[in-house]
Amino acid sequence: MICIASSAGMTQTAIFEVFGESLFPNMHVKIGTLLVPELFFPAVLLPSIVFVALYAYPFLEKLFSFESREHNVLRLPYQQPFSTAAGCGLVMFVLVLEAAGADDVIAVAMNGSVTQIRTTLRVLVVVLPAITWIVVYGMCLRALRVRAARGGTINLDG
């Protein structure tokens, strides 16, 4: 019996793609006598920034929204368009990073080159979350207008 192993056999998803390590340029940063390795940015810095932002989001939202009233977490997504759009943009950002971890598999499946796939993903990791934010924000505002036209009330504060 012949066994064939491919690169897709050992996925990198176990370590969450090291947040799309293939999207980062190969560079070593030298600070004085300290050499920062190239994996520091996708494996330590970017996940730290993402998780700190996720944990700090409720506090930042309270700080910048200037709400002094009670915060109701049972609002519908369209009633808080900025938060909904930001969450969808973050999900899209992470999905592109996940796809970047499988760039070699995508290249084989599409009969393309890994370099072209990486270049495309480097653009998409910036552009797609922004487009997602704009589309979702617009959809939420439209839902608010439709509800108001049907006689509902628009209440962005809760």
* Identity of residue 39: L
**Region 11-40 average pLDDT:** 73
Residue 36 near residue 29, CB atoms below 8 Å: yes
81-133 pLDDT tens trace: 888 998 999 999 988 988 888 888 888 899 989 889 989 999 999 999 999 99
**Region 138-151 average pLDDT:** 90
Q: For residue 153, give both structure tokens.
A: 């009330």
At 34 the three-state DSSP class reads strand
Q: Say whether pLDDT at 13 is over 50.
A: no
Q: In the prediction, which pLDDT does 124 show?
A: 94
The beta-carbon contacts of 10-15 under 8 Å, at least 24 apart in sequence, are 11/101, 11/102, 12/101, 12/102, 13/98, 13/101, 13/102
- Higher-confidence residue of 2 and 112: namely 112
Number of other CB atoms surrounding residue 114 within 10 Å: 14
Tell me the residue length of the chain: 158
Q: In the prediction, which pLDDT does 138 show?
A: 96
- Higher-confidence residue of 146 and 73: namely 146
Q: In the prediction, which pLDDT does 120 show?
A: 92
Checking DSSP bridges between strand 34-36 and strand 29-31, what pairing results, if any?
A: antiparallel
Residue 143 near residue 77, CB atoms below 8 Å: no
31-79 pLDDT tens trace: 889 888 888 888 888 888 888 988 998 888 777 766 666 767 788 888 8
Q: In the prediction, which pLDDT does 64 show?
A: 74
For residue 80, give the DSSP letter. S
* Helices 114-149 and 81-101: angle between axes, nearest 10 degrees: 160
Q: Is the pTM of this model over 0.95?
A: no
- 120, 43, 50: which is closest to 87 by C-alpha? 50
**What span, in angstroms and rounded, lies between the C-alpha atoms of 56 and 77?**
20
Q: In the prediction, which pLDDT does 7 show?
A: 52
Q: In the prediction, which pLDDT does 19 show?
A: 55
Q: In the prediction, which pLDDT does 70 show?
A: 73
Q: In the prediction, which pLDDT does 17 show?
A: 53
